[in-house]
């Protein structure tokens, strides 16, 4: 009981720590991406926190099994390094008994991953897509930040300030680079006192309406330029589009997948992927325990990189099989074959020492008989 509690606490504590570090590292890239979208005016900065929270479970689906894998490697690597595993074996505690002590943390992590992959992640993805869809339908000026350059299709928009009702831009500057084959690029600058949008009743297209301004057209390096004053200047705006496509398979709830997967190979691939995420946990646990054995003189980190590469090959292989199923180029059994293959590999590594010992004894017995 004491050994089981000690191992469980060590593994679960290390898993939580490793998962936290990996989450911060991997989420930082997504944070930078969303900040860039907010700076370009494609996302309201107020939605950043909500979007990140909705996307977080999707990262945890893969990070938590990897965190458990590294935690088992580090925990038992330290036990081997401090000769505690030698003491346990000398006290009659077998490797199989120690593996049984890993069942509690393994089932805890497996339950968490199953909960996130089947329920929390699809719900979060669907909520994030709804936010992006609502964002795409907003008025263009709802996303404009005064004093900043922001993308507006192929053009760049700058506004000194917004009117109190947020329906008009004040102090507008619009920049555009127009390229014509065989001619140098022309730079176009439009400066106007104010601007607003209107929608054509017949076509439904949106237009940017600038009032009381000047349009300059020039070629860099040339002194000649064109200047046009106007009282009203209209430009057709690109139609808003969701930043991320709606109806992603990762946003389907599990019940819908079960209902529709028979008629759609892509849905079958998504279902098999969700089933695979919890299955990574027991296989990763056995692989990590099998690879954690180190010589005290070698150090606990000797096998860390090769072990992580082996785990990543497992995840990549399942992902490749899923892609093949999505495209209708592979049977569903391909995913299960990969899981079974890596599970057998884990068992082989786990019993490698015993296999060598039995083989040695067999050779010795055969030599004596001869």
pTM over 0.75: no
3-state secondary structure (DSSP) of residue 289: helix
Distance CA 63, CA 58 (A): 9
212: left (phi over 0), alpha (psi -120 to 50) or beta: left
The answer for residues whose C-beta is within 8 angstroms of residue 251's C-beta and 6 or more apart is: 122, 125, 126, 129
CA distance 218 to 184: 10
**pLDDT in the model for residue 265:** 86
- pLDDT tens string, the chain, 370 residues long: the values are 778 888 889 899 999 999 999 998 888 888 887 777 766 656 666 777 888 888 888 889 999 999 999 999 988 888 888 777 777 777 777 777 888 888 999 999 999 999 999 999 998 888 888 877 666 555 455 566 777 777 776 788 888 888 877 778 888 898 888 877 767 788 889 999 988 888 888 887 878 888 999 999 988 878 888 888 999 988 887 665 544 444 677 888 888 888 887 778 888 888 999 999 999 999 999 999 988 887 767 666 777 888 899 999 999 999 999 999 888 887 888 999 999 999 999 988 887 766 766 676 667 676 655 5
Strand partners, 227: 216
3-state SS string for 151-163: EECCEEEEEEEEC
* Domain locations in the chain as residue ranges: 2-136+246-369, 146-236
Say how far apart CA 188 and CA 175 lie, in whole Å.
6
Pairing of strands 155-162, 149-152: antiparallel
Q: Side-chain half-sphere of 254: how many Cα atoms within 13 Å? A: 12
Tell me how far apart the alpha carbons of residues 20 and 64 are, in angstroms, rounded to a whole number.
9
The separation between CA 217 and the C-alpha centre of its own chain, rounded to angstroms, equals 44
Report the number of secondary-structure helices (H) and strands (E) in the chain: 11, 6
Nearest alpha carbon to residue 178 among 243, 145, 226: 226
């Amino acid at each position: 009981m004491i050994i089981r509690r000690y191992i469980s606490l060590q593994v679960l504590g290390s898993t939580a720590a490793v998962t936290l570090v990996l989450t911060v590292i991997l989420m930082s890239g997504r944070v930078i991406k969303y900040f860039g979208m907010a700076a370009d005016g494609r996302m309201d900065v107020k939605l950043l926190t909500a979007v990140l929270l909705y996307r977080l479970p999707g990262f945890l689906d893969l990070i938590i099994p990897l965190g458990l894998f590294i935690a088992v490697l580090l925990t038992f690597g330290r036990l081997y390094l401090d000769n505690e595993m030698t003491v346990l074996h000398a006290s009659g505690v077998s490797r199989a008994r120690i593996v049984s002590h890993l069942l509690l943390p393994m089932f805890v992590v497996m339950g968490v991953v199953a909960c996130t992959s089947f329920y929390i992640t699809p719900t979060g993805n669907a909520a994030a897509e709804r936010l992006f869809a609502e964002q795409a339908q907003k008025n263009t000026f709802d996303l404009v930040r005064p004093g900043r350059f922001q993308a507006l299709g192929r053009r760049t928009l700058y506004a000194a300030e917004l009117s109190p009702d947020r329906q008009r831009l004040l102090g507008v500057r619009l920049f555009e680079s127009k390229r014509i084959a065989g001619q140098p690029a022309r730079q176009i600058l439009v400066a106007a006192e104010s601007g607003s949008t209107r929608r054509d009743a017949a076509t439904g297209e949106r237009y940017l309406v600038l009032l009381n301004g000047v349009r300059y057209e020039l070629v860099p390096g040339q002194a000649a330029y064109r200047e046009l004053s106007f009282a009203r200047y209209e430009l057709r705006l690109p139609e808003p589009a969701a930043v991320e496509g709606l109806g992603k398979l990762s946003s389907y709830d599990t019940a819908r997948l079960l209902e529709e997967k028979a008629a759609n190979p892509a849905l079958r691939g998504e279902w098999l992927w969700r089933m695979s995420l919890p299955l990574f946990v027991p296989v990763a646990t056995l692989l990590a325990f099998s690879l954690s054995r180190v010589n005290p003189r070698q150090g606990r980190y000797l096998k860390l990189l090769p072990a992580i590469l082996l785990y990543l090959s497992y995840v990549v292989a399942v992902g490749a099989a899923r892609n093949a199923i999505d495209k209708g180029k592979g049977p569903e059994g391909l995913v299960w074959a990969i899981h079974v293959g890596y599970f057998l590999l884990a068992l082989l590594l786990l019993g490698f020492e015993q296999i060598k010992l039995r083989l040695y004894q067999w050779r010795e017995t055969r030599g004596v008989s001869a």
